[in-house]
Structure 1
Amino acid sequence: MIKIRFVEADDAQALLEIYAYYVKETAITFEYDVPSVAEFQERINTISSFYPYLVAVEDGHILGYAYASAFHPRAAYAWSAESTVYLSKDARGKGVGRKLYQQLEADLKAMGILNLNACIATTSLEDGHLDNTSQKFHEALGFDMVGKFHQSGYKFQTWYDMIWMEKMLASHDKPVQSVQSIHETKRY
């Protein structure tokens, strides 16, 4: 049975191993070099200090992770967050990403986040480094494409497009409630 939980300090190495594949073998991330464990742990600490950072575990084995981060640092964007998900190669296509996103969305709603955005690399010619599975995954979860940047990322001697997808998590009532840290919600 797959369990979704918050990230723990001991998870950094396992999460980095999942991420390293995407850095070295795919254009899903535009990062060129695999970060060190210390740098990756710092990223986890920074993100999880305010936003949910979730891990999918089955039989003690980490299958993947998802988190939200600030969409933009200016105060007026507080009600928007950017989502990220990475799965181990063996966990893809088994509903793990969907389970992670369902919990991520529930946590973000509890915080008061209204808009969830995803920045996704896309290609018109699948080349072994990128297909459009992430776009299709987000569409299946109710995200809509709201913008496209042409040939904006260069990796593996190839130019890739980037799209922004968006999902409204709740209504945009006025007056708006302040966004709370994940640590202030009942789930944490």
Structure 2
Amino acid sequence: MNDVTIRNATCEDAESILTIYSYYVKNTAITFEISMPTLDEFQQRIAGTLTRYPYLVAIRNGIIVGYAYAGAFVGREAYNHSAELTIYLSPEEKGHGTGRKLYTALEQELSVMGITNLYACIGSPITPDEYLTHNSENFHAHLGFTKVGTFHKCGRKFDRYYNMIWMEKILELVPDTNS
């Protein structure tokens, strides 16, 4: 049973969210961020996201155990029906269905906003190692995302190169009025 609740994040959640994120910055190549952002920087990131997109947290027993948010895809007006998604869970929270629950809630909110194209930018190992596996790619594929592109050796962390892949999920096909 998944006794996790999902709610909208606030800037006051930044410290708990940053604690989760810090694990990934320090110990993985899941994020290509190398230096830890400050609490103030993270609060500004959350506030900036909330001006236009949903930012959700998952709570178990009163503790934030994961978060997911959407952001602009490319940042041009013609892409307003598209969004890039991000998700992080506390390491011990994996395998409990929390990631699926967060993404499902995020997709529902984005759909109501008229966003139909979802994208995920995912670190991908050239060869799986102790810092990066194919788990993120597999998670997204399990939720209906399809791999659409690879950028080779574009990230460097822990003195090794990593690829970056893009995955997409189309919530609703919009009729093409040009045909």
Range into which the TM-score falls when normalised by the shorter chain: over 0.9
Q: Give, as a single letter, the amino acid of the residue that structure 2 aligns with 1:159.
A: Y
CA distance in 1, matches of 2:87, 2:100: 10
Which of these residues, 128, 131, 134, is aligned with residue 132 of structure 1? 134
What is the distance in 2 between the residues matched to 1:119 and 1:43?
Answer: 18
For 2:59, the equivalent position in structure 1 comes to 57
- Pair 1:75 & 2:71 matched: no
Deviates more, 1:122-131 or 1:32-41: 122-131
- Counterparts of 1:130 and 1:46, CA distance in 2: 28
Partner of 1:184: none
Q: Deviations over 1:122-155 (max 9, x none)?
A: 1132220001100000000000000001111000
* Counterpart in the other structure of 1:35: 37
Letter in 2 for 1:112: G
Secondary structure at 2:102 match in 1: helix
Once residues 83 and 95 of structure 1 are traced to their aligned partners in structure 2, the CA distance between those partners, rounded to angstroms, is 17
Q: Structure 1: which 5+ residue stretches go unaligned?
A: 176-188
Q: 2:110 aligns with which of 105, 108, 111?
A: 108
Whole-angstrom CA distance in 1 between matches of 2:12 and 2:83: 25
The residue number in structure 1 matching 2:21 is 19
Of residues 41, 44, 47 in structure 2, which corresponds to 1:45? Answer: 47
Q: Could you list the per-position Cα deviations for residues 17-69 of structure 1 after superposition, in whole angstroms to 9, with x for gaps in the alignment?
A: 00001001100000011100000000000001110000000110111000000
Q: Which 4+ runs in 1 deviate beyond 3 A?
A: none
Per-residue deviation, residues 87-131 of structure 1 (Å, max 9, x unmatched): 001101111100000000000000000100000011132220001
2:148 paired with 1:169: no
Distance 2:20 2:70 in 1: 17
Segment drifting more, 102-111 vs 118-127: 118-127
Aligned to 1:10: 12
Question: Which of 150, 160, 163 is 2:162 aligned to?
Answer: 160
Name the SS for the 1:22 alignment partner: helix
How many correspondences in the alignment? 175
**Residue 98, structure 1, aligned to residue 108, structure 2:** no
CA distance in 1, matches of 2:10, 2:75: 25
Instruction: Report the aligned-residue RMSD.
Output: 1.0
The TM-score with structure 2 as length reference comes to 0.95
* Cross-structure match for 1:123: 125
